[in-house]
Structure 1
């Protein structure tokens, strides 16, 4: 496979802020899901 000089760094083309933003979004979603599961278990035990 020949390297295209115009696309040499295509994999790292995204800015750091965009990658960090996605990491924060994924982290917030995971924390939210864990929180919902915890509240559901808490509600189920106390019911």
Structure 2
């Protein structure tokens, strides 16, 4: 029997680690973008 995407007995934790890695990368990028925007606003106000 072929194992589908909904089979809880697949036994591989790799997709979860992959999803968590992508989530962490997207979070870091968003924090970086917010930091850059805040720095530009601070530079613009103090100019």
Do they fold alike, i.e. is TM over 0.5?
A: yes
* Structure 1 residue 7: Cα displacement: 5.8
* Structure 1 residue 23: Cα displacement: 0.1
- Give TM-score, length-normalised by structure 1: 0.73
* Structure 1 residue 34: Cα displacement: 0.3
Deviation per residue, 1:4-33 (Å, 9 max, x gap):
x636217xx862110000000000000000
Runs of 4+ in 1 over 3 A off after TM superposition: none
In structure 2, distance between residues paired with 1:30 and 1:43: 20
> How many residue pairs are counted as aligned between the two chains?
41
Unpaired segments ≥5 residues, structure 1: none
Aligned to 1:8: 4
Aligned to 1:23: 23
Structure 1 or 2: more helix by fraction:
1
